[in-house]
């Protein structure tokens, strides 16, 4: 399967290198499954935003033949690159010859400029999501997921999410077992479902300015099975319930204590499903969710997949590389 990754001056190096290594590693498990090519507006050296240089052998205009997967890298220079009509026209031409098209990070803005995301649901780095939505109102922008598949168009969130996207493409092509083997081979986090938020629960809110609340978040995330009701948390923080709820919500950017606890428990359940063989009633008990029915409801709300399906797809099994 021919994979063409498009880069440009100022591209994010990991947007290219992460997916390229995923496809290359997959070819170790399924011999020669992928043939990866890197192209740019002009052949020769292309400087990444971090200062390293990649030398490409083919330009956008010189590439011929059919393409299985066309993938576009993002980077800080995307606002300048999208003004280059030759680049956008080149993407349109290549996309017409590709079975599927994908973007990593702010590369979605280049796909949108080429009209390839019109009428589609798409994601991008959360910092670029507002710009994508405002500049391209015909695109249904969802800034939360790690990656989104809409028909033959795939888009992903920022930087390392490109690895998740590439693993999802490998899973679609070669099966989930191969994708898991690739993840283990690269020693990366087992490939996450696209519906998962770009942020883990602790990352989803800014660090509270008050030390008692910072310590409380650590306690919540480390002890999901404890009594994490508002009265119990308020007592631990040394505040009245009403004052605690108000301060917590203010410090967390609008997330109530109950909502944070639920997200933290859903995150803990996800980790147990990946790393253990505990039955669902045990997972529910260990994460403070009580019973499998509550686990199912909360898990679906936060990860957009059932606990059983998540485990079937992402449970880690011992394997040598």
- What residues are annotated to the active site? 105
Residue identified by tokens 């099975």 is 225
Helices (H), the chain: 13-29, 78-81, 85-96, 107-113, 126-135, 161-174, 176-186, 211-222, 230-237, 241-251, 257-275, 280-286, 292-303, 307-314
Q: Collapsing DSSP states into helix, strand and coil, what is residue 52?
A: coil
* CB contact set of 30 (below 8 Å; sequence gap of 6+): 174, 178
Q: Collapsing DSSP states into helix, strand and coil, what is residue 80?
A: helix
Cβ–Cβ < 8 Å for 200, 160: no
Which residue, among 263, 251, 265, has the nearest Cα to 215 in the 3D structure?
A: 251
Cβ–Cβ < 8 Å for 4, 71: yes
Backbone torsion region of residue 218, taken as left when φ is above 0, otherwise alpha when ψ lies between -120 and 50, otherwise beta? alpha
């Amino acid at each position: 399967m021919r994979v063409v990754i498009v880069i440009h001056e100022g591209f994010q190096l990991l947007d290219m290198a992460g997916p390229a290594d995923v496809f290359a590693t997959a070819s170790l498990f399924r011999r020669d499954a992928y043939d990866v090519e890197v192209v740019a507006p002009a052949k020769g050296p292309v400087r990444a935003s971090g200062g390293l240089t990649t030398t490409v052998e083919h330009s956008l205009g010189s590439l011929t033949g059919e393409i299985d997967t066309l993938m576009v890298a993002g980077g800080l220079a995307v606002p300048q690159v999208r003004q280059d009509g030759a680049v956008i026209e080149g993407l349109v031409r290549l996309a017409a010859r590709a079975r599927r098209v994908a973007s990593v990070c702010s590369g979605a803005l280049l796909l949108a400029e080429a009209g390839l995301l019109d009428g589609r649901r798409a994601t991008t780095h959360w910092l670029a999501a507002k710009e994508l939505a405002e500049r391209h109102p015909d695109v249904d922008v969802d800034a939360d997921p790690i990656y989104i598949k809409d028909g033959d168009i795939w888009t992903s969130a920022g930087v390392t999410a490109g690895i998740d996207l590439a693993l999802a493409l490998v899973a679609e092509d070669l099966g989930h077992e191969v994708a898991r083997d690739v993840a283990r081979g690269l020693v990366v986090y087992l490939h996450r479902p696209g519906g998962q938020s770009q942020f883990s629960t602790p990352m989803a809110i800014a660090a509270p300015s008050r030390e008692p609340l910072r310590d409380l978040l650590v306690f919540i995330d480390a002890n999901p099975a404890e009594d994490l009701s508002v009265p119990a948390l308020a007592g631990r923080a040394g505040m009245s319930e009403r004052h605690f709820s108000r301060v917590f919500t203010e410090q967390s950017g609008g997330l109530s204590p109950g909502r944070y606890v639920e997200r933290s428990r859903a995150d803990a359940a996800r980790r147990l499903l990946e790393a253990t063989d505990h039955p669902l009633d045990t997972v529910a008990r260990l994460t403070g969710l009580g019973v499998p029915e509550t686990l199912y409801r909360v898990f679906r709300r936060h990860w957009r997949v059932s606990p059983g399906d998540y485990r079937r797809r992402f449970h880690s099994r011992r394997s040598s590389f």
